[in-house]
């Protein structure tokens, strides 16, 4: 400003004026020099002077305008030289050289300011992670275009690095999640740079492996849990059964002991029965002999009775003849009259005797007949006895034979019962072994269940895709099983392939 | 400046690929500087432009929400990008890809705005025309809320920020 105020001095002003006056005189002399007369020359000189004055006035104005423009140029360039590219020259007269200069300066400042702002904004944006902003070389000139393009290459590099960094940060986050047992996230490799895509694939593979492992663990845990539960329940059944069996066996054992002793007793009894049977045989033989004797005695009695009968017949004939004699005597006595009276009495007496003899003989006869009847009955009885004894002997023989068989059978039974008893004792021991094995198995089942519980809890605590779709096959070979099949055998059966 | 009503025509002037329009305004939008390309494109003299509000060259096809957004962005100290249809003095028009940045004084106060306009990508203009048409339609009642909502939903649906959308439409130019 100070400089321009000194420049704006009278000296320079007059200098400029003189310059224009001399210039107009020269023009007058060149155009109107020697070819015209003085009066005309005076007129022309006057016109020339007026013209010169007008030019001078215009010149003064032009100088004023130029001076203002130059002042602006000075101010604007001075500020620009100090790093402030903001100001421009305005109200420019394009037709002057100063005006042209002003526009050039404005254009230069535009180039510089637009370039630097574009650069500043691009850098700001990329610093904020907005990697899509680039420099716009369009409208810039020369070196500025070159610089812009070079800067854009650098921005591209930075953007790539930022993108990679963002991808790597994402990967780190996912790995961090893996550490916290969350395997649900997968790295999206869309737009990822080739040199880190391998890393991303590796992490994804790791995630998949971890997922598979967790699912496998969960699956196995659930299967183990299922198995342990079944085992525990089965062990419980076995345990109960074994205990019941042990009780039953004990009862069986005691029953067997009783049976064994009974069989022994039976054996002894059969021996006794044999002895008794032998005794009975002897008695029967004796009885038979006695019966035979009795039969013979009865025969003898019959003979004696016949003899008695003969004797009685003789007595009876005597009685009859005596009676007739007495009757004859009575007749004779009656003929003899009185002399015969006494005799008649005797004859009567004799007749009485004869009658009494006949009565006696009849009584004896009837007694003897009765005796004979009894003797015959006795014989018959003796004969029956003989037959009876013979039957008895035969029955006893059969009985003895049966007793013998029973004895042998009893012996055999005894041996077998002893073997059964030994088996029962062995069975009892084994049952007790089973009980203790069942108890140990139960402990193992409980432990297995605990382990399974821990595995399942652990597996469930992990965040894994497909966790809720893990099913357990309920049978060893379960064709209805629709979970994640891991066994080839099931698939083969399902697809009717040879095992 | 007298407000002579200009009747828009369909005459388009294309900005040169190697040129840019530069202008500066104060915080109220009054033009303080414009370069020669500006004058050439808008067909005004420097005298007709300096000291006049920048909306002199605002074309009626432009949705007002675009300028609202631009003011919000630059007043908050950020740069604004946008595709703008400008009105020439003779009623013709020219499309520009504009970039407005705030100017600061030594105390970091905003004292004005500098705007650079480059040749827009033709495909970007074809994309933006129907959107602007829709926004202008929504603004017919004089209320900007509907058009603003439409613009925000459009960005949301396409999952981009306004800057990203505009910069990607322009591409590397």
Closest residue in chain A to residue B117, using alpha carbons only = A139
**Cα distance between residue A225 and residue A232, in whole Å:** 10
Q: Name, of A7-11, A187-191, A478-482, A486-490, the range with top average pLDDT.
A: A187-191
Given a cut of 60, is residue A486 above it in pLDDT?
no
- Per-residue pLDDT tens over the stretch A421-440: 888 888 888 888 888 888 88
| Helix (H/G/I), strand (E/B), else coil: A355 | helix
- Residue-level pLDDT at A4: 41
Portion of chain B with pLDDT greater than 70, in percent? 97
| A91 vs B contacts (CB less than 8 Å) | 46-47, 50
Least confident of A61-65, A247-251, A308-312, A423-427: A61-65
Q: Decide which of A55 and A71 is more confident.
A: A71
Mapped onto helix, strand or coil, the DSSP state of residue B22 is strand
By Cβ distance, the residue of B17, B33, B163 closest to A88 is: B33
Q: What is the pLDDT of residues B73-116, one digit of tens each?
A: 999 999 999 999 999 999 999 999 999 999 988 898 999 999 99
Instruction: Tell me the chain A residues in contact with residue B167 when contact means C-beta distances shorter than 8 Å.
Output: 132-134
Closest Cβ opposite residue A92 in set B18, B20, B46:
B46
Sign of the Cα torsion A426, A427, A433, A436 reads negative
Tokens 């089942």 found at: A445
- pLDDT > 90? residue A326: no
The yes-or-no verdict on residue B12 having pLDDT over 60 is: yes
Q: A8 — phi, psi (to 5°)?
A: -80, 45
Q: How many residues does chain B have?
A: 173
Whose structure tokens read 């017949």?
Answer: A313
- In this predicted structure, the answer to whether residue A463 has a pLDDT above a threshold of 90 is no
What ipTM does the predicted assembly reach? Answer: 0.92
pLDDT band at A145 (very low <50, low <70, confident <90, very high): very high
Residue A455 pLDDT exceeds 80: yes
Q: Which of A103-107, B3-7, B17-21 has the lowest mean pLDDT?
A: B3-7
Angle between helix A97-127 and A38-81 (nearest 10) = 10
A193 neighbors A164 (Cβ within 8 angstroms) = yes
- pLDDT tens for B116-154 read 999 999 999 998 999 999 999 888 887 888 888 888 998
Instruction: Identify the CA nearest to A323 among candidates A371, A276, A287, A356.
Output: A356
Take residue A85 and report the two structure tokens written for it: 């590219």
Whole-prediction pTM value? 0.57
Asked if B23 and B54 count as a contact pair (C-beta separation under 8 A), the reply is yes
Q: How far is B145 from chain A (nearest CA, A)?
A: 28
User: Hey, are the CB atoms on B22 and A86 less than 8 Å from each other?
Assistant: no
Complete edge-to-edge strand list for the sheet that includes strand B31-34: B31-34, B21-26, B110-118, B93-104, B80-87
User: How far apart are the C-alpha atoms of A12 and A237, rounded to whole Å?
Assistant: 129
In angstroms, the separation between the Cα of residue B18 and the nearest Cα of chain A is 4
- Alpha-carbon Rg for chain B, nearest whole angstrom, is 16
User: Which range in A21-30, A90-99, A437-446, B47-56 is most confidently predicted, on average pLDDT?
Assistant: B47-56
**B21-26 and B110-118 strand pairing:** antiparallel
Best residue in B31, B50, B79, B115 to probe A by mutation, most A CBs within 10 Å?
B79
SS3 A298: helix
Q: Is A401 on the interface with B (CB under 8 A)?
A: no
CA distance A492 to A499: 6
Mean pLDDT of A116-136: 91
- The C-alpha atoms of residue B28 and residue B112 are separated, in whole angstroms, by 8
Q: Give the pLDDT score at A13.
A: 66
Burial class (CB in 10 A: 0-12, 13-18, 19+), A89: buried
Conformation bin of residue A337: beta by default, left when phi > 0, alpha when psi is -120 to 50: left
Inter-chain contact A139–B19, Cβ cutoff 8 Å? yes
CA atoms within 13 A on the CB side of A287: 19
Instruction: Provide the pLDDT confidence category of residue A482 given band limits of 50, 70 and 90.
Output: low
Contacts of B76 (CB under 8 A, 6+ apart): none
Where is A186: in which H helix or E strand? none
DSSP symbol at B56: G
Torsion angle, alpha carbons of A302, A303, A306, A310, to 10: -160
Q: Which sign does the torsion angle of CA A355, A359, A362, A364 carry?
A: negative
Q: What is the DSSP string of B2-20?
A: --PPPPP-S-B-PPPTT--
Token pair, residue A35, equals 């070819």
Confidence of residue A6 (pLDDT cuts 50, 70, 90): very low
**Is B83 within 8 Å of B96 (Cβ atoms)?**
yes
Distance from CA of B159 to the nearest CA of A (A): 15
What sections of A36-96 are H helices per DSSP? 38-81
Average pLDDT over residues A200-219: 86
Q: Do A118 and B17 touch (CB under 8 A)?
A: no
Please tell me which of the candidates A132, A138, A152 has its beta carbon nearest to residue B20: A138
**Average pLDDT in chain B:** 90
* pLDDT beyond 60 at A164: yes
Which residues does A349 contact at the CB level (< 8 Å), separation at least 6?
A: none
Question: From CA A151, how far away is CA A145, in angstroms rounded?
Answer: 10
Residues 6 or more apart whose Cβ sits within 8 Å of residue A174:
A185, A186, A187, A203, A207
Rounded CA gap, A369 and A382, in Å? 20
Q: Would you tell me how many other CB atoms lie within 10 Å of the CB of residue A19? A: 11
Kindly report which listed range (A286-295, A420-429, A466-475) carries the lowest average pLDDT score: A466-475
- Closest alpha carbon to A435 in A235, A239, A248: A239
Give the pLDDT score at A479.
63
Lowest-confidence pick of A17-26, A211-220, A248-257, A407-416 = A17-26
The confidence score (pLDDT) of residue A129 equals: 85
Tokens of A203: 């992490």
Is residue A2 over pLDDT 50? no
Pairwise CA distance, residues A361 & A318, whole Å: 10
Task: With cut-offs at 50, 70 and 90, classify the pLDDT of residue B2.
Answer: very low
State how far the Cα of A311 lies from the Cα of A320, in Å rounded to an integer.
Answer: 14
The overall average pLDDT reported for chain A is: 83
- Rounded Cα gap, residues A104 and A83, in angstroms: 18
């Amino acid at each position: 400003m100070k400089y321009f105020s000194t420049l704006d001095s009278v000296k320079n002003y007059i200098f400029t004026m003189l310059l224009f006056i001399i210039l107009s005189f020269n023009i007058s002399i060149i155009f109107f020099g020697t070819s015209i007369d003085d009066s005309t020359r005076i007129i022309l000189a006057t016109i020339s002077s007026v013209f010169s004055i007008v030019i001078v006035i215009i010149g003064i104005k032009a100088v004023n305008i130029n001076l203002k423009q130059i002042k602006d140029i000075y101010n604007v360039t001075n500020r620009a030289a100090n790093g402030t590219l903001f100001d421009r020259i305005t109200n420019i007269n394009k037709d002057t050289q100063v005006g042209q200069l002003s526009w050039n300066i404005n254009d230069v400042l535009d180039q510089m300011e637009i370039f630097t702002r574009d650069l500043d904004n691009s850098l700001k944006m990329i610093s904020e992670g907005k990697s899509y902003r680039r420099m716009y070389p369009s409208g810039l000139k020369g070196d500025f275009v070159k610089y812009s393009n070079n800067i854009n290459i650098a921005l591209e590099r930075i953007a790539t690095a930022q993108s990679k960094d963002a991808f790597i940060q994402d990967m780190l986050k996912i790995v961090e999640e893996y550490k916290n047992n969350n395997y649900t996230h997968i790295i999206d490799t869309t737009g990822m740079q080739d040199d880190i895509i391998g890393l991303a694939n590796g992490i994804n593979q790791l995630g998949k492996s971890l997922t598979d492992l967790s699912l496998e663990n969960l699956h196995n845990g659930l299967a183990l849990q299922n198995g342990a539960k079944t085992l525990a329940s089965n062990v419980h059944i076995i345990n109960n059964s074994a205990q019941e069996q042990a009780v039953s066996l004990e009862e069986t054992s005691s029953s067997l002991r009783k049976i064994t002793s009974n069989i022994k007793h039976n054996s002894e009894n059969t021996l006794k029965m044999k002895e008794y049977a032998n005794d009975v045989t002897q008695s029967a033989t004796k009885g038979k002999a006695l019966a035979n004797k009795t039969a013979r005695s009865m025969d003898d009695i019959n003979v004696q009775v016949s003899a008695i009968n003969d004797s009685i017949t003789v007595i009876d004939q005597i009685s009859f003849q005596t009676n007739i004699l007495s009757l004859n005597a009575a007749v004779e006595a009656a003929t003899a009259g009185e002399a015969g009276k006494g005799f008649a009495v005797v004859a009567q007496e004799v007749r009485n005797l004869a009658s009494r003899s006949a009565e006696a003989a009849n009584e004896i006869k009837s007694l003897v007949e009765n005796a004979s009847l009894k003797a015959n009955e006795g014989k018959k009885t003796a004969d029956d006895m003989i037959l009876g004894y013979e039957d008895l002997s035969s029955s006893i023989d059969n009985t003895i034979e049966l007793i013998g068989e029973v004895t042998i059978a009893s012996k055999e039974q005894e041996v077998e019962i002893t073997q059964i008893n030994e088996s029962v004792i062995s069975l009892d021991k084994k049952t007790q072994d089973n009980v203790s094995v069942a108890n140990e198995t139960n402990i193992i089942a409980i432990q297995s269940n605990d382990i399974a519980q821990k595995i399942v809890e652990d597996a469930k605590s992990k965040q894994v895709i497909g966790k809720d779709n893990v099913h357990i096959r309920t049978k060893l070979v379960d064709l209805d099983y629709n979970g994640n099949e891991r066994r080839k055998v099931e698939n083969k059966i399902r697809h009717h392939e040879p095992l | 400046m007298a407000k002579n009503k200009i009747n828009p025509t369909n005459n388009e002037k294309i900005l040169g690929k190697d040129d840019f329009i530069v202008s500066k305004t104060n915080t109220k939008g009054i033009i303080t500087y414009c370069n020669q390309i500006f004058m050439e494109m808008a067909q005004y003299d420097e005298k007709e432009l300096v000291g006049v509000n920048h909306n002199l060259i605002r074309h009626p096809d432009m949705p007002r929400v675009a300028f609202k957004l631009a003011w919000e962005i630059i007043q908050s100290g950020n740069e604004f990008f946008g595709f703008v249809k400008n009105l020439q003095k003779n009623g013709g028009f020219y499309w520009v890809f504009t970039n407005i940045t705030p100017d600061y004084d030594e105390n970091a106060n905003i004292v004005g705005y500098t705007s650079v306009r480059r040749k827009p990508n033709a495909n970007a203009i074809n994309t933006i025309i129907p959107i602007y048409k829709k926004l202008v339609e929504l603004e017919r009642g004089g209320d900007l809320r509907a058009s603003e909502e439409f613009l925000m939903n459009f960005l949301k649906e396409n999952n981009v920020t306004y800057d990203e959308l505009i910069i990607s439409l322009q591409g590397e130019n």
